[in-house]
Structure 1
């Protein structure tokens, strides 16, 4: 009977040691996971800061007329989408979405250069009409965009 107690004690001791080993391994995994989550959060924040700064830069370029209006609206719409704003937060920038939708059919990059001059002229005229139609609204929204995202950039950097 004593042998049974010795064997049971030995098995219990082995199980306690194994449980301790698993507990240490679990703590190590949780610490690594916490570090990985922190690194991912930092990377996401850096990306958000970069996107917000790009929005500010493009908006300022549009204010100073260094960036074509249509191109600026398209770029701003794409960048604002990357922020994954709610419908309510996106509402003040709706003109960018409108201009984007109205110019979505116009070829870009290599497709633009592949067009005949006559087609390019037609699309250029379409862009000018869209720009004229929304010029006042775009100007007001661009000013708002600079202020809004400048503040957001400062907030993100302070976190």
Structure 2
């Protein structure tokens, strides 16, 4: 066998080996893409289920209106920004913004009774003002909004 033939065979073997390695790498990329897509779909399904539970709890008054609206707004932002920005969901944004300055967790516990009462009075006023629109929005989410496919999957 001549050196030229041997060089060609080695070259072809090298090309075949590189091709097989490239195929191996592409299969890994495809598997990662598939796993990423499945994880994103599972996340969307989980968020959609959580939104349905929150909306139902809000309608059944098992969840305080302010807390429910805040939780729904945050989940909607993560679930589907288009749905979150739908005019029928704006009440959740309004309540979120109206309570953005309220201390939470440890800061709430550290407030004196007078400050807590002032915040609670504001909560009561917001609930009276936004109860019907929030219930209407929660009902729409359950009946129509959550049934469409999320835009940002």
TM-score, length of structure 2 as denominator length: 0.90
Residue equivalent to 2:34: 38
Structure 1 distance, partners of 2:69, 2:28, is 42
Is it true that 1:82 corresponds to 2:53 in the alignment?
no
Residue equivalent to 1:58: 54
Residue equivalent to 2:43: 47
RMSD: 2.0
Structure 2 distance, partners of 1:10, 1:59, is 73
The range that moved more, 9-18 or 75-84, is 9-18
CA contact (8 A) 1:99 1:130 kept: yes
Query: Which structure has more helix as a fraction of its residues?
Result: 1
Residue equivalent to 2:142: 146
Residue equivalent to 1:73: 69
- Structure 1: give runs of 5+ residues left out of the alignment: none
CA gap 1:53/1:87 in 2 versus in 1, 3 angstroms: closer
Residue equivalent to 1:93: 89
The range that moved more, 131-140 or 84-93, is 84-93
Secondary structure class of the residue paired with 1:67: coil
The range that moved more, 69-78 or 119-128, is 119-128
For residue 13 of structure 1, report the CA deviation from its aligned partner: 1.4
For residue 26 of structure 1, report the CA deviation from its aligned partner: 0.7
For residue 89 of structure 1, report the CA deviation from its aligned partner: 5.7
CA contact (8 A) 2:73 2:84 kept: no
Residue equivalent to 2:104: 108
TM-score, length of structure 1 as denominator length: 0.86
Count of aligned pairs = 150
